[in-house]
Structure 1
Amino acid sequence: MFQRLREDINSVFDRDPAARNFLEVLTNYPGLHALLVHRLSHWLWQKNLKWLARTLSSLARWFTGIEIHPGATIGRRFFIDHGMGVVIGETAEVGDDVTLYQGVTLGGTSWNKGKRHPTLEDGVIVGAGAKILGPFTVGAGAKVGSNAVITKEVPAGATVVGIPGKVVKRDEPDTVTPLEVDPERREAMRRKFGFDAYGVSQDMPDPVARSMQAMLDHMHAVDERLERMCTTLRSIDAGFRDSNLPELRDEDFANVLADVDSCCGPQDEPQGDKTADAQDHTESEGGDTAARRRQNG
């Protein structure tokens, strides 16, 4: 018992640099308090003392803001950082070395009996506010981003973000072989279509940027295949002629640039020009007023 307690406390030191000493962790970490009460309430639940187990669980929720159903199975070195608002359902299973942050829900999507809450394998990290809902497995070493909503299985080692959750990084490569694209040709394609992937690199977990990058890679592959087809046709038929593709000109985007200028306004306009424009505007107004007077007179 004391060995497990020491192990739980050491896991706090390993994952929270703000932890300073043994006494501080033991007395001021609600995640540790909720875990210790759950160890006892889970033992009572297994002994079929369910009312007493639920009562202890409710007391722990009042004091810590963390609700762990006594029927949930929690592994070793489990760490809840901050903890307020964490909810773990009855049939949830949590492996070893798992970390949860505040506001996390391990919930269900069904009122049926049986397994209805998720299983988190060893080493999973779940960010603040994330919701993992349903009887599926989150693979070992996976990471769930803050405020993500996960409703289907997560591969081991993957990183999942968004609503609904999307895998943006995997430990193992996808089964489909990616296109072999020359980096220089890829950069030329980006400049041609005016796309810079929002200023992020391909390794960053931005699903939109990755989708756009995949489209550009596909366009590059199609462009290269068309060039090979034209070369083959010229070698077969000397009379074959192919025309060049139209270039993207700045004039084609004049309306877009005009909209940007009208929205944002000129930023470096010389003060002298502004004064001259104001003077011309004043003289124009004066001339119009004199003309109206002559007309009315």
Structure 2
Amino acid sequence: MHNYDFKTYIKADFGINFKNKKMNFLFFLRNKKFRLLYIFRLSSKLQRSEKKNIFFKTIRKILATYYNSLQHDFCCELPQATEIGKGLNLPHPYGIIINHNTVIGDNCTILHFVTFGNNVNKGNDNLPVIGNNVVFGAGAKIIGPCNIGNNVKIGANAVVVTDIKDNCIAAGVPAKILK
């Protein structure tokens, strides 16, 4: 992720998830999904930070502990090291599992119980690479190595094990291109 600008990312995430709401501290306190996104972006920024002093190490540990409790509440795994572009839309962030080496582009929508992983028979580093403006239906499984292009829609409960080109709709087990 080049030039990770926290404010730009959090504004894009907020705008896509909470269109008509006003971002403020009270909203942060009341909305657990916003806290999950905010703490994910903040911990990702701090993890990429070059600062190694005791203050930043302490803040990172406190945030990591709080972030882990949020993940536990949503029964999801959204590792701080994951490269996810701006405009991440999580309408229902329950049960989402993302391998920490997966790369996800801008403006992606991930519904509940979606998994991004790898086929261990093909190596631990062979993970999915996701383009921009991709929508993942509920329960979809994306098993790398595979590349998913831009402007793609993956159907509910689809199992993607091969590449999907730009501007396609895919569904089924295993996923096939429908359009």
The interval holding the TM-score normalised by the smaller chain is 0.7 to 0.9
Q: Which has the higher contact order (CA 8 A, sep 6+)?
A: 2
Give 1:10 deviation, angstroms: 1.1
Between the aligned partners of 2:47 and 2:81, the Cα distance in structure 1 is 6
Give 1:65 deviation, angstroms: 2.7
1:8 aligns with 2:13: yes
| Contact kept in structure 2, 1:108 and 1:116, CA below 8 Å | yes
Give 1:4 deviation, angstroms: 3.6
In the other structure, the counterpart of 2:135 is 125
1:140 aligns with 2:150: yes
SS at match of 1:154: coil
1:45 aligns with 2:47: yes
Q: What amino acid does structure 2 have at the position aligned with 1:72?
A: T
How far does the alpha carbon of each residue in 1:27-54 deviate from its partner, in whole angstroms, 9 at most, with x for none? 3252x332222222323433487x9476
| Contact kept in structure 1, 2:111 and 2:139, CA below 8 Å | yes
SS at match of 2:69: helix
Shift >6 Å, 4+ stretches: none
| Contact kept in structure 2, 1:145 and 1:161, CA below 8 Å | yes
When residues 28 and 125 of structure 1 are mapped into structure 2, their CA distance, relative to the original with a 3 A threshold, is same
How far does the alpha carbon of each residue in 1:143-179 deviate from its partner, in whole angstroms, 9 at most, with x for none? 000011111111111101111111110xxxxxxxxxx
When residues 90 and 144 of structure 1 are mapped into structure 2, their CA distance, relative to the original with a 3 A threshold, is same
When residues 25 and 78 of structure 1 are mapped into structure 2, their CA distance, relative to the original with a 3 A threshold, is farther
SS at match of 2:101: coil
TM-score computed with the length of structure 1 as normaliser: 0.49
In the other structure, the counterpart of 2:21 is 21
Structure number with higher helix proportion: 1
SS at match of 1:160: strand
1:88 aligns with 2:90: no
1:59 aligns with 2:69: yes
Q: What amino acid does structure 2 have at the position aligned with 1:71?
A: A
TM-score computed with the length of structure 2 as normaliser: 0.77
When residues 108 and 45 of structure 1 are mapped into structure 2, their CA distance, relative to the original with a 3 A threshold, is farther
| Contact kept in structure 1, 2:9 and 2:41, CA below 8 Å | no
* TM-align CA RMSD: 2.6
Between the aligned partners of 1:77 and 1:125, the Cα distance in structure 2 is 12
Between the aligned partners of 2:68 and 2:32, the Cα distance in structure 1 is 18
In the other structure, the counterpart of 1:105 is 115
Structure number with higher strand proportion: 2
In the other structure, the counterpart of 2:165 is 155
Q: Percent identity?
A: 25
Which runs of 5 or more structure 2 residues have no equivalent in the other structure? Answer: 1-5, 51-56
Between the aligned partners of 2:49 and 2:155, the Cα distance in structure 1 is 37
| Contact kept in structure 1, 2:9 and 2:85, CA below 8 Å | no
Between the aligned partners of 1:105 and 1:122, the Cα distance in structure 2 is 18
